[in-house]
Amino acid sequence: MKAAPFAYRAPETLDEALSLLAAGDGARVLAGGQSLVPLLKARVVKPTLVVDVNRVPGLAAIEVDGDGALRIGALTRQQKLLDSDAAAAAQPLLREAGRYAGFLATRHRGTVGGSLAYAAPWAELTAAAVALDARLEIRSAGGERTVPARSFFQGPHETVLEPDELLTVVHVPAAAPRTGVGFHEVSARYRDFANVAAAATITLDEAGACTAAELVLLRVAATPHRVDVSHLVGAPFDGAAARAALVDALAGLDPAGDIEASGTYRRRVAVTLALRALQDANAKAGATR
């Protein structure tokens, strides 16, 4: 199917982009197009105006500040993030999750901000953003605000972004010392849409006891789902205990089923993927001691 007609503007400045969005009347932001274009073609969205932000300067850089925190421009291509040794060093989960996010040809166009803003339920970078407690810088003609990734996602393809707002920067805090990460998913083929995915981080103290842990699952709930794994803190990682706790933690979830996987399958396989992600995170954290 072909997209319905729309007017097209490709502003050269951020202010111009924001004022086009502020003019309202059903404008949509086009960045990499890997989420928006299929929605346009299916006519799920029918904007009168498409604002192509690819020519807006200054939105595509990856910077590391003195504390090791990352500032990732929303227009950063997913492949550029994957290739960035600085980003991987500052926060290894970005590469670990990012390598599952689409194919070379989609990552060349697809942007980090677009993946978050379009919030597809299978988008690996949404899980990473929630696990890492990323902060999302959002601009509009009227001002700016920063929203934690943990309160950004509202449902499948739904976020707190208003129609006149543009996600401009993703701030990711530096990984604490002795932190390991893990990411596992099941999909039809490697790098294809996640049917279920798990992102984990574990931080150990010098004696090998866990001091912090995060676990985020995709496709077991309407948004990237943060599982409380605080019971892991205070002791060395115990796989059997972790598995039992995961079974309990996920028992109350009722994941949506679809042609790719039933809800029951998603809940069951999520336990295994979560355990693998936690085990990987623990092993890598231990290796850095």
Partner 1 sequence: MTDRLEIRVEVNGTWREGRVEPRLTLADFLREDLDLTGTHVACENGFCGNCNVLVDGESVRACLMFAVQADGRLLLTVEGLAEPDGTLGRLQQAFHDNHGLQCGFCTPAMLVTAHEYLEANPGGGSDEEIRDAISGVLCRCTGYQHIVDSIRAAAEEAA
- 4-33 residues in contact with partner 1 (CB under 8 A) are 4-8, 10, 30, 33
Q: Which is nearer to partner 1, 102 or 255 (CB)?
A: 102
Tell me: does residue 84 bind partner 1 (CB under 8 A).
no
Extract the tokens encoding 103. 């194919």
Extract the tokens encoding 164. 């006149």
Q: Which is nearer to partner 1, 138 or 197 (CB)?
A: 197
- Report DSSP state, residue 4: P
Q: Which is nearer to partner 1, 112 or 210 (CB)?
A: 112
What whole-number distance in Å separates Cα of residue 205 and Cα of residue 4? Answer: 56
Instruction: Output the smallest distance, CB 34 to partner 1, in A.
Output: 6
Q: State the burial class of residue 259 (Cβ atoms within 10 Å of its Cβ: 0-12, 13-18, 19+).
A: exposed
Buried (b) or exposed (e) across 129-164, using 16+ Cβ within 10 A? bbbbebbbbbbbeeeeeebebbebbeeebebebeeb
- Report DSSP state, residue 177: T
Q: Candidates 16, 69, 88, 109: give the one binding partner 1 (CB under 8 A).
A: 109
What whole-number distance in Å separates Cα of residue 244 and Cα of residue 265? Answer: 18
- 171-230 residues in contact with partner 1 (CB under 8 A) are 189-191
What whole-number distance in Å separates Cα of residue 112 and Cα of residue 82? Answer: 10
Instruction: Output the smallest distance, CB 112 to partner 1, in A.
Output: 17
Tell me: does residue 44 bind partner 1 (CB under 8 A).
no
Q: Choose one: 38-46, 65-73, 176-184, 277-285; the region binding partner 1 (CB under 8 A).
A: 38-46
Q: Candidates 21, 40, 72, 220: give the one binding partner 1 (CB under 8 A).
A: 40
Q: Is the dihedral of CA 253, 201, 101, 187 positive or negative?
A: negative
Tell me: does residue 54 bind partner 1 (CB under 8 A).
yes
Q: Which is nearer to partner 1, 28 or 178 (CB)?
A: 28
The structure tokens 């809800």 sit at 263
Tell me: does residue 106 bind partner 1 (CB under 8 A).
yes
Q: Which is nearer to partner 1, 40 or 172 (CB)?
A: 40
Binding site for partner 1 (CB under 8 A): 1-8, 10, 30, 33-34, 37-38, 40-42, 50, 52, 54, 102-106, 108-109, 189-191
